Structure 1
Amino acid sequence: MSDLNKASAEALEAARQSDQFAVMLAAIQAVQKQPACQHQAPVPQSSGSAAKWVGIGAGASVFMIALAVSAVAVAISAVALTVCVLVLRSVWQDIQKGKG
């Protein structure tokens, strides 16, 4: 083969290879543009933020403190009522002794 025929054969081979590379590149680009899995359900987005949970925590803390304070108030009222009843009972007994 002469140099011209050899160069021509190599040019034809190079053209075939470049066509093959173009087809492979187009296939790769087409695959990359498609989503990974079309059957996958969309991921639900979070409906809340950190501020929402901080607000809930603060509200719950205020509620629990109010509940504790009211429980202490009930306990103090019960002690005061008990003391009052005991004093009145003692006074009543003293009055009964004085009459009899």
Structure 2
Amino acid sequence: MSDALEKAEQAAREAATDTAAVQIALAALELAKAAQQQPAPQHHQCDHQHKPRRSAGEWIGIACAVCVGGAGIAFASLALAILGGTAAIVVLVLRSMWTDVQKRR
């Protein structure tokens, strides 16, 4: 009879162990369900409106405008350099003529 008692005791221990494992598994499932039901944390929303990003066509247009503007500035600088050189020559010629007029008097 003690053999039967020991077997019953062993069966009771296994049942208790299995029950604890099942309870842990059920608790894990409940936790997973609760995590799925909770909404994801929302990021901070800005109050201002964001401008849409520029498209590739707009960037190409900007690059062309910069190139044309740069060429215009280059030609304007060249024109000013020629004008300055011409003005310097005119001033030197007039100065030379003035000194010649002053020598004749």
Give the alignment's TM-score, normalised by structure 2: 0.49
Summarize the Cα distance change of 1:2–1:53 in structure 2 as closer, same or farther, 3 Å threshold.
farther
Range 51-60 or range 5-14, more displaced:
51-60
Identify the match of residue 72 of structure 2 among 51, 66, 77. Answer: 66
From 24, 27, 30, the equivalent of 1:26 is 30
Can you give the 5+ residue segments of structure 2 that lack an aligned partner in the other structure? Answer: none
Specify whether residues 58 and 31 from structure 1 end up closer, same or farther in structure 2 by C-alpha distance, changes over 3 A only. Answer: farther
CA displacement at 1:10 relative to structure 2: 1.7
**Unaligned 5+ residue runs, structure 1?**
none
State the partner residue of 2:89.
Answer: 83
Cα shift at 1:19: 2.3
4+ residue stretches of structure 1 with deviation over 6 A? none
1:31–1:52 CA distance, 2 compared to 1 (3 A): farther
Q: Does 1:10 align with 2:14?
A: yes
Change (3 A) 1:58 1:14: farther
How many equivalent pairs are there?
95
Shift of 1:41: 0.8
Tell me the residue number matched to 2:44: 41
Following the alignment from structure 2 to structure 1, what is the Cα–Cα distance between the partners of residues 83 and 53?
43
Q: Tell me the alpha carbon deviations over residues 65-87 of structure 1, each in whole angstroms, 9 at most, x when there is no partner.
A: 43233122112112113323543
SS in structure 2 of the partner of residue 41 of structure 1: coil
Q: How many Å apart are 1:27 and its aligned residue?
A: 1.1
